[in-house]
Amino acid sequence: MDRVLVCSAWPYANGPIHVGHVTGSLLPADIFARFNRLVGNETLLISGSDMHGAPITVSADKEKVPPEVIADRYHEINSKAIEGLGISFDLYTHTHTSNHQEVVNEVFLELLEKGHLKRMTTPQYYCDRCSRFLPDRYVEGTCPHCGADHARGDQCDACGMDLNAQDLKSARCQLCSSSPELRETEHFFLKLSDFTGGLKEYVEARNHWRPHVRSFTLNVLDEGLLDRPITRDISWGVPVPVDGFDSKRIYVWFEAVIGYLSAAKQWAATKSDPDAWERFWKDGSCRSYYFLGKDNIVFHTIIWPAILTGVGGLNLPYDVVANQFMNLGGQKFSKSMGVSIDIPELLTKLRPDVVRYYLSANMPEFKDSEFSWEDFAQRVNSELVATYGNFVHRALSFTFKNFATVPAKGDLDDRDRAALERITDASRSVSEFLSACEFREALKSLMDLAQSGNQYFDAVAPWALVRSDRDRCETVLHVSLEICKALAVLGYPFLPFSSESIWKGLGMDGSLEETGWKGLETPLNEGAALERPAPLFAKMEATAFGGFSQFSVLNLKVGKVLSVEPHPDADKLYVMKVDVGKPITIVSGLKDYYTADELSAKTLVILTNLEPAKLRGVKSEGMLLAAEDGDKLALLTPEKELVPGTQISSGLELTDKQISYKEFQKLDMRAGVMASADPPRIQVGDKVLGCAASGGETGGKYAALVLDDSALVMHGPDGVKMVFDRDIPAGARIR
């Protein structure tokens, strides 16, 4: 029996977990842990919420509540979602516990004593009015390279240069705009340089790591490691266990990874055996696996091993299984951009095994993968439902109807033996692939077994035998049910809920969880009564779930032009006052297309929550939407007159958050011609897309939000759609 410690990266408690967390760390870790328990390995699966760090304090400030409120809220929500998904943690804790603080302190002091930490004093901006030190990106000023006015302390967006806050000219506090002063502040640094050599050796010996993880890490090591500060001037986080550091906290990047150790200790404390954690951390034969996303690699292959080496006597990661990203509509999942499918919400609509199936089958193990509802529905329907679920159901329901008990096994012929052979093959390959953390391949082997079940069932045709040879029929059904049982056992790591229900449906004793892998050999209970079987999975509709939620960041309103002036300082720009419920100023580049007269009193569609930007010295507080095709341009306007300020929500929930121009540009909106009204389909360029909501009249030309292969016609209240004031080809990009 082996022993494995399975660690899943810690989700940040600043929002609900989303598909990315599940596919990157939670699900692979769970599959791996379930598999190991199944085959009888002593397994500990742990993780928790990362409660500290600046983004949580930012959210807290915004809501005017203490950071604990935010962190606790999402810890609560996420714990539930994780449980709902069937992630079988032995402990899911968080980093804001006294236990974690103690363990972090121990580690910190141990490193200090061994000389791996050093104190250094650095200048840092301090804002008097906010009475706080400012992180680099909270400092704003003039870029020393290009002279742009709104450069942030960490980077200048205008020229893309990396900066130090001290380099900025006329620095301002981004929070209150007052001038901060440079103050000396003392911090602890982790001397990563101490570890470079050892780490290199360690990583080079890890030939079983995924190639991208290993080569990426070696790359970073070759570039050399800089000593990094592990404390900072903030108030939310783990206190520094050294006198004179009361106003400082330990940096999250250093403290959060220690959660793996503190969680194991906490788990042990809740058992009768408080030293139990040592079996997983001090016994060199225990292998530790870490599941995370690729953005987290260095923390697990360099920083965490460095800390562990520094402390000494603790196991370094055996494998760091980093996944790539699962994207949505070609973009990275990102809450701030509304590109997100959060799990709590998803679970209200779908059963956990269905979600687990798709995310496993499409897991970004070696390269990024793409999440789409269409693909989701297709894979679930054709693979999980039609091949896997249907096989189990046809075998079980046929048996139930004709025998109502588990049929007896008579003499086997070659075909039967070959079918049983497939089970052995499948169990071998599933177990090999899972041991190697190749989840997609393992799942593929499972589905192949389901298909071979269908082939067998077809070939032996029990529906004919039941009339000609009942004994023979019992035998082939017995073999079929053996295949079902194997599907349950082998599928358990992926589909735990369905597997248990198959196990029960077959009339097996106990639970599959406690029976384990040896359930493959456990004989069927011949003669046992069967319950009436029900299908395992139902088909799903892609359109029922598809969301255009990423467009909800657009706060669009009807605007009426009040005045149009030429820009005093630019050839192509107008400065317009527009009434969107309140008058705002918009600078637009329409001079080549429209005269001032043409624009006056026009009703337009205005993006109102764009970050204000200065265009040639005049501040623009929004943007009017227009379709553009080559040198043609047409403005969007409601098909019926609407009062200025009317929301154009297109039926989406709106946020009032500001978006940057860059984010806005990533959203795809087009002019489209309705190809048919029922079902609603719209032609955009040379593609015909299905419409998510009601469309307009056939032949009408409307503005549409485009996402993958579906479109949503932009509309305001009462379904008033947005049209164009000039002729523009379908497919023209709206911006």
Partner RNA sequence: AGCGGGGUGGGGUAGCUUGGAAAUCCCAUCAGGCUCAUAACCUGAAGAUCGUUGGUUCAAAUCCAACCCCCGCUACCA
Site for RNA in 352-371 (CB under 7 A): 364, 366-370
Q: Which is nearer to RNA, 152 or 701 (CB)?
A: 152
- Name beta bridge partners: 580: none
Window 101 to 130, contacts with RNA (CB under 7 A) = none
Tokens in use for 413?
């012929």
Residue 284, φ and ψ in degrees, nearest 5: -60, -15
Window 369 to 388, contacts with RNA (CB under 7 A) = 369-370, 375, 378-379, 382-383, 385-387
- The CB-of-554 to RNA minimum distance in angstroms stands at 18
Tokens in use for 309?
């080496």
Strands of 174-257, DSSP E = 181-190, 228-229, 231-232, 238-239, 249-250
Q: Which is nearer to RNA, 501 or 646 (CB)?
A: 501
Window 561 to 590, contacts with RNA (CB under 7 A) = none
Residue 686, φ and ψ in degrees, nearest 5: -100, 10
Window 1 to 60, contacts with RNA (CB under 7 A) = 9-12, 19-21, 23-25, 50, 53-55
Q: Which is nearer to RNA, 25 or 710 (CB)?
A: 25
Q: How do beta strands 669-677 and 632-638 pair?
A: unpaired
- Of 291, 310, 313, 309, nearest to 300 by C-alpha is 291
Q: How do beta strands 369-371 and 326-328 pair?
A: parallel
> Where does residue 33 rank: exposed (0-12), middle (13-18), buried (19+ CB within 10 A)?
buried
Neighbouring C-alpha atoms within 13 Å toward the C-beta of 52: 24
Helix, strand, or coil (residue 643): coil
- The CB-of-127 to RNA minimum distance in angstroms stands at 18
Residue from 41, 196, 334, 647 in contact with RNA (CB under 7 A) = 334
Interface with RNA (CB under 7 A), residue total: 83
The verdict on 79 binding RNA (CB under 7 A) reads: no
Q: Which is nearer to RNA, 43 or 327 (CB)?
A: 327
The verdict on 519 binding RNA (CB under 7 A) reads: no
Residue from 113, 131, 160, 514 in contact with RNA (CB under 7 A) = 160
Residues ≥6 apart with Cβ < 8 Å to 537 = 351, 353, 354, 380, 384, 385, 388, 389, 498
- CB neighbourhood size of 284 (10 A): 7
Tokens in use for 724?
């164009």
Q: Which is nearer to RNA, 88 or 452 (CB)?
A: 452
Window 427 to 446, contacts with RNA (CB under 7 A) = 444
- Name beta bridge partners: 169: 142
Window 708 to 727, contacts with RNA (CB under 7 A) = none
Residue from 301, 327, 427, 515 in contact with RNA (CB under 7 A) = 327
Phi-psi region at 194: left, alpha or beta (left = phi > 0; alpha = psi -120 to 50): alpha
- The CB-of-359 to RNA minimum distance in angstroms stands at 10
Residue from 390, 435, 522, 585 in contact with RNA (CB under 7 A) = 390
Could you give the CA distance from residue 450 to residue 536 in angstroms, rounded to a whole number? 14
- The CB-of-134 to RNA minimum distance in angstroms stands at 12
> Where does residue 406 rank: exposed (0-12), middle (13-18), buried (19+ CB within 10 A)?
buried
Contact between residue 621 and residue 632 where contact means Cβ atoms under 8 Å apart: no
Tokens in use for 156?
């200048």
Q: Which is nearer to RNA, 254 or 548 (CB)?
A: 254
Q: Which residue in this structure is represented by tokens 């141990």?
A: 110
Residue from 131, 170, 219, 285 in contact with RNA (CB under 7 A) = 219
Could you give the CA distance from residue 21 to residue 371 in angstroms, rounded to a whole number? 13
Four-CA torsion 347, 351, 352, 358, nearest 10 degrees? -100
Each residue 523-562 as x (binds RNA by CB under 7 A) or -, in order, gives ------------xxxxx-----------------------
Q: Which is nearer to RNA, 595 or 665 (CB)?
A: 665
Q: Which is nearer to RNA, 139 or 590 (CB)?
A: 139
Residue from 445, 454, 620, 649 in contact with RNA (CB under 7 A) = 454
Q: Which is nearer to RNA, 435 or 451 (CB)?
A: 451
Q: Which range, of 142-150, 152-160, 558-566, 576-584, touches RNA by CB under 7 A?
A: 152-160
How far is the CA of 508 from the CAs of 40, 492, 501, in angstroms? 19, 15, 10
Q: Which range, of 80-88, 272-280, 462-470, 566-574, touches RNA by CB under 7 A?
A: 462-470
- Amino acid present at 234: I
Q: Give, in degrees to the nearest 5, the angle at Cα 586 between 580 and 590.
A: 115
Residue from 170, 205, 211, 544 in contact with RNA (CB under 7 A) = 211
Residue from 398, 548, 664, 702 in contact with RNA (CB under 7 A) = 398
Window 59 to 78, contacts with RNA (CB under 7 A) = none
How far is the CA of 128 from the CAs of 181, 462, 599, 646, in angstroms? 8, 83, 47, 42
- The CB-of-371 to RNA minimum distance in angstroms stands at 9
- The CB-of-593 to RNA minimum distance in angstroms stands at 25
- The CB-of-300 to RNA minimum distance in angstroms stands at 9
Phi-psi region at 186: left, alpha or beta (left = phi > 0; alpha = psi -120 to 50): beta
Query: How far is it between the farthest Cα atoms of the chain?
Result: 95
Window 638 to 667, contacts with RNA (CB under 7 A) = 666
Residue from 80, 137, 616, 726 in contact with RNA (CB under 7 A) = 137
Residue from 114, 119, 183, 332 in contact with RNA (CB under 7 A) = 332
- The CB-of-215 to RNA minimum distance in angstroms stands at 7
Task: Give the DSSP H/E element, type plus range, for residue 123.
Answer: strand 117-127
The verdict on 497 binding RNA (CB under 7 A) reads: no
The verdict on 451 binding RNA (CB under 7 A) reads: yes
Give the distance from CA 277 to its chain's centroid: 30
- The CB-of-527 to RNA minimum distance in angstroms stands at 21
Q: Which is nearer to RNA, 403 or 593 (CB)?
A: 403
Residue 392, φ and ψ in degrees, nearest 5: -60, -45
Q: Which is nearer to RNA, 25 or 603 (CB)?
A: 25
Q: Which range, of 309-317, 318-326, 549-557, 712-720, touches RNA by CB under 7 A?
A: 318-326
Q: Which is nearer to RNA, 286 or 337 (CB)?
A: 337
Window 241 to 300, contacts with RNA (CB under 7 A) = 251-253, 292-293, 295-296
